Homo-oligomer: A and B are copies of this chain.
Amino acid sequence: MANEKKGFVQAITPQSEDFSRWYLDTIQKADLMDYSPVRGCIVFKPDGYELWERIQAGLDRRFKETGHRNAYFPLLIPESFFQKEKEHVEGFNPELPWVTEAAGEKLEERLAIRPTSETMIGHMYSKWIQSYRDLPVLINQWANVFRWEKRTLPFLRTSEFLWQEGHTAHATEEEARVETMQMLDIYADFAETEMAMPVIKGQKTPSERFAGAVDTYSIEAMMKDGRALQSATSHFLGQNFAKGFDIKFLDKDNQLKYVYTTSWGASTRLIGALIMTHGDDRGLALPPTLAPVQVIMIPVGPPKARDQVMAKFDPLFDDLKAAGVRVKTDLREETPGWKFNEWEMRGVPLRLELGPRDVQNNQCVLARRDTGEKISVSLDGAVARVRELLQEIQENMYAQAVAFRDQHLHVELETLADLEQHIEAKAAAGELAGWALLGWCGDDACEAKIKEVTKFTSRNIPFDPPVRKTTCAVCGQSAQHTVWFARAY
């Protein structure tokens, strides 16, 4: 770690020069992860894992407040289970790792490491659900899952990742659809409130649907390179898995009926989303609500004045801690400038400096990570001011992200040719292409054409588009949908 620490003061590749390089530099310098000896699998180091713990806490609280409970289902899924839902097996089979031997013997049936748990959970629900009185079943699972990936990118696309998967069963289609939307709203609320990351809610096109779903909904966020990142999905599964796994209940009218199911998930991808929403050329920038360290306290000034400084520094630390602020001190021997740089790279929202002159003036200096602003505040009101500032930073980071996104949403493009021209012009100007709102006739071929020509894929059909498009950008026929298209992670 000593070697890596020295690395912190070296430059991070600027975003405008090479965004991918910037991303990898940033996560390495913030010490969030490491590569592992198993292809496609990463190690979540403590600073990275703590972001996940805080994401988990924020989501878990919301799931429980809406009546869901956690459970845990087996990691391994018998091969035969995948055959029971046709689209599901086609969607996931190419990505599965298989356990074929255990305890020195060949297994009679191969077991897949779960890519998701609809099949296992469907099987269990068919045992648990008999009557309308057993419904709804509202269960969530926090788990590791595998999808064997060829090209991986830390947090965003790894063979093993951590996630939560909610699985619910309902007596009626209406109730299941309400659940699907409720969970999408919960993801959006979490993203916007805690991650300070604005998202667009909408429905996926059929080609982007979850394998086995009737309808898939997503929240999509814009990254600093103008690309889209699908940040969470919520699926209305209809009766597809109920039929595949024979999940039936005796309804009040004494009829045996299939249940309606939903599933919804968010993963450690959100760590990547957080980094690419707020990071800048100085490295990571974390919103106070999720930041493991909200305030870093650094004493400044000559060593001979240190005792005098510490006499104010230590009580201030205690007061901040007592007020519930996640505060940390850096008392190492390195220069203040080196430390400022390091904690900026690590994304700490607020730096508190205290030197001998500050002590004389009964004040300290607060430096904001989001704006770079330096503010002198009286030591008497410092705790209250820190708390206010953390709130202000949270709000400002959200506002900044909204402004950045809105600046890169393009609703004025009408045709595929417009989009091509737009992408070329932006590239020539060294600007970001952003997202394009286009009309779509509903034909898979037109959607595929856009991807083929521009690499822009459909993100979602927003519930509330800023403009309704009337003609398909590709074929010129009447538009059935108004769709966001973008390069995506």
Contacts and interface: CB of A to CB of B under 8 A. Distances in A.
15 contacts: A2-B130, A34-B124, A36-B124, A37-B81, A38-B77, A38-B78, A41-B75, A44-B73, A49-B69, A50-B69, A72-B162, A74-B160, A76-B97, A97-B103, A98-B99
Contact of A144 (B38, B45, B75, B129): B75
A101 interface: yes
A95 interface: yes
Interface string A105-137: 000001101000000100110011111011000
Given A127-B34, A148-B102, A43 B71 contact: yes
B76 A130 contact: no
Interface string A26-45: 00000000101110011111
Give the contact-size bracket for chain A: 35 or more
B43 A74 contact: yes
Contacts of A99: 97-100, 113
Given A78-B37, A124-B36, A134-B2, A70 B53 contact: yes
A96 interface: yes
A104 B52 CA distance: 31
A133 B2 contact: yes
Nearest to A158: B74
Count identical subunits in the complex: 2
Given A53-B70, A74-B160, A144-B75, A94 B100 contact: no
A70 B43 contact: no
Contacts of A41: 74-76
A139 interface: yes
B43 A124 contact: yes
A103 B95 contact: yes
Interface of A: 1-3, 34, 36-38, 41-46, 49-50, 52-53, 69-78, 81, 94-104, 110-111, 113, 120, 123-124, 127-131, 133-134, 139, 143-144, 146, 148, 150, 160, 162
A70 B46 contact: yes
Contact of A36 (B95, B103, B120): B120
Contacts of A123: 37
B131 A2 contact: yes
A438 to B, nearest CB: 34
B75 A1 contact: no
A75 B160 contact: yes
A101 B94 contact: no
A160 B46 CA distance: 25
B103 A73 contact: no
A124 B148 CA distance: 22
Given A97-B102, A100-B100, A103-B96, A160 B76 contact: yes
Given A37-B81, A99-B113, 16 more contacts: A36-B74, A36-B124, A38-B76, A41-B74, A42-B74, A43-B72, A43-B124, A45-B71, A49-B71, A52-B72, A53-B70, A75-B146, A75-B160, A76-B97, A97-B102, A99-B99
A1 B69 CA distance: 15
A81 B38 CA distance: 11
B101 A100 contact: yes
Contacts of A100: 98-101
Contacts of A36: 73-74, 120, 124
Contacts of A144: 75, 143-144
Given A131-B2, A134-B1, A139-B46, A38 B103 contact: no
A74 to B, nearest CB: 4
